[in-house]
Chains A and B, each alone.
Chain A
Amino acid sequence: MDVMPRWADVILVPVISIILAFAISGLVILGIGENPWDALTTMVSGALGSTYGWGYTLYYATNFIFTGLCVAVAFHARLFNIGGEGQAALGGLGVALVCLAVPWPHWALALPAAILGGALFGAFWAAIPAWAQAWRGSHIVITTIMFNFIAAALLNYLLVNTLKPQGSMDPATARFTEGAHLPTLAEMLNPIGIPFSGAGPANVSFVIALLACLLVWILIWRTRLGYEIRAYGHSEPAAVYAGISPRRIIMLTMMISGALAGLMAINNVMGEAERLVLNSVEGAGFIGIAVALMGRSHPLGVLLAAILFGFLYQGGAELALFTSIPRELIVVIQALVILFTGALDNMVRMPIEALFLRARDRRAAKASAEPPAGPEAKTEPAAR
């Protein structure tokens, strides 16, 4: 029997976890001799106080939506894809190759091609660990970790030896052509009369990210494939019983997951840097884990969590600029969010469940004083 009502499970527990994570972050700031309240106001004004700040916040959020969805989709099949970092890096390679291969006349043509390139490369990089799990039984967590490092080495090699333009000392590709330039939010909003700072890198990819959230929602809860993914995630033997092929689900889920990570490259590589540089992902793949956990693998939750982390990232940059708190504060917050919403979930859940149980017992005690209710659904204790 469910102990808690659904709202407590879906909202109360994660909210308390996040409050705990931020409270401890506040203590950390206190501990290094700074004022948490000042830090918070600096972050809020820096990240949300101007369209300049929003331009960065939404740019970061776009990255995290993609990587968060990447982790979330895999979670539904109970696959823990830690490889978002590497998949996004490969996605960057795909996007860069697409952008450099053709002198694109207009971004509206370049973007679909880049989306395809990023998604395919990301999917490919996820497909190998998926194959190793589906056919060879190797643990997806370990292989995806390994593939992050292999991706880093591969990109390092390619950028240093192959993709670097002749004569350049910088391990990066050439700059993409003008036709591959994605419109920034400012370029999109200003013509229709909404003032938006042109400094921030947020661009049309944010709209693609929102679209991706919607598509993932449809995929998970409205398609037969999504049904199969969730069924497989809950129970592999049951899925086999129902004629769902675990191999097919592992492959498809991981490739969708990898494609979503790869899609991130339209934002950071095509939209912002406009060339492929070393370590272009900058840990966004790992933040996807925090985002997916915090968003409880639901696209709406992922969207909200991604915006929160976008705020943290931009706010953290402001902090580093105006105070002596290093940017790494964000990494700490990210760690605490993962810890409390992911690993210490039960620590929050158990006392809350106990509270609800006590409340119910009290209600039951009151009810038992009255004549008994109708036939009970449950006549025997659960077998397990």
Chain B
Amino acid sequence: MDFATLLQILDSTLRLSAPLILACLAGLFSERAGILDIGLEGKMLVAAFASGAVAYTTGSVWIGLLAAIGASMVLSAIHGVASITFRGNQLISGVALNFLAAGMTVLIAQSWFGQGGRTPSLFGGARFEPVTLPFAEALADVPILGPIYADLLSGHSILVYVALLTVPLTWWVLFRTRFGLRLRAVGENPAAVDTAGVSVVGLRYASVAIAGLLCGIAGSYLSTGLQAGFVKDMTAGRGYIALAALIFAKWRPWYALGACLLFGLLQALALRYQNLDIFGIPLPTQIMDAAPYILTVVILAGFVGKAIPPRAGGQPYVKER
């Protein structure tokens, strides 16, 4: 494997990791506040559709992005009503929302565009174009570092950089702000937050809304950055991989970045090589597909450190003395 191939694989890793990172951090905000979210997939899917459809109709990818965030937040709101206000089962709500997204996107796409549940292809201002980082061209000839900067780091859609910047931002919000302290507290012991005079419901809705925002960006990236338009079921399990990454990262932002890059790399490899030989052992592409899930099961089974989720995760808060 030469340097150029390596760069290409890593480049594709970055592109494929970006939606995972955003979705994973979405899950992180939600689950740190005690609301389990297996509806990441569905939120991304509606966002991808809304973004593709609106960007096509208006010709502006930015309006598309806003629509994506809006659509994703609608699902977040339903999840919030079900699991916070009505104290329903958060897992069941997540499952339902994933199906709702899978069905509604096709239904609306068909009735809107009549192209078998997809949007027409996007081009021009309806897509996120690659962003060239400053001096990328000037530095491209510097050996090793030049190509890394110009080819690997530069030339991605703006949302890839947004995803990368969201990681330190998330860390900062969680561990350096009042909001973060309260958010973490509400996922560990909501009664402590409630008796301290802070609204548990408000905090949890805020966290679910942030999850919606981030999934919205992730979904928008899928249909307007990574690809040019929405196709049926285009999230293809990314929401679940993000969920796996979240567990793999043990609900910590920097580790989440690492986990998402790893899973992104696996996807990049599976895309590029149908059968990969590693030390003479042929690795079929299906292994690559299944690897994130297998790794997560291994982590969950506690073979590589114990994954301790936020203590109040999944439990609706009921006041008691």
Contacts and interface: CB of A to CB of B under 8 A. Distances in A.
Within the complex, are A and B direct neighbours (CB within 8 Å)? yes
Interface of A: 28, 32-33, 80, 82, 129, 132, 136-139, 141-143, 145-147, 149-150, 152-154, 156-157, 160-161, 286, 289, 293, 324-326, 328-336, 338-339, 342-347, 350, 384
A126 to B, nearest CB: 13
A346 B85 CA distance: 9
B78 interface: yes
Contacts of A332: 99-100, 103-104, 107
A331 B86 CA distance: 24
Given A141-B38, A146-B297, A338 B302 contact: no
Contacts of B93: 339, 342-344
Nearest to B237: A149
B106 A326 contact: yes
Given A146-B293, A153-B290, A28 B92 contact: no
A342 B100 contact: no
A82 B243 CA distance: 15
Contact of B96 (A141, A152, A343): A343
A324 B78 CA distance: 28
10 contacts: A32-B110, A137-B302, A138-B300, A142-B296, A149-B240, A324-B111, A328-B110, A336-B96, A343-B88, A343-B92
Contact of A289 (B92, B247, B289, B309): B92
Given A82-B95, A343-B88, A346-B87, A149 B290 contact: yes
Nearest to A33: B111
B295 to A, nearest CB: 9
A336 to B, nearest CB: 7
Given A150-B290, A153-B286, A328-B107, A344 B86 contact: yes
A143 to B, nearest CB: 6
Contacts of B240: 145-146, 149
Contacts of A137: 302
Interface of B: 38, 78, 81-83, 86-93, 95-100, 102-104, 106-108, 110-111, 114, 117, 237, 240, 243-244, 247, 284, 286-287, 289-290, 293-294, 296-297, 300-303, 307, 309, 320
B86 A330 contact: no
A342 B290 contact: no
Listed residue (A157, A339, A345) with the most chain B CB atoms within 10 angstroms of its CB:
A339
Contacts of A324: 110-111, 114
Given A153-B289, A326-B107, A136 B301 contact: yes
A287 to B, nearest CB: 9
Contacts of B284: 157, 161
A44 B29 CA distance: 45
B78 A138 contact: no
Given A153-B290, A157-B286, A344-B86, 6 more contacts: A132-B297, A146-B294, A150-B294, A157-B284, A326-B106, A342-B88
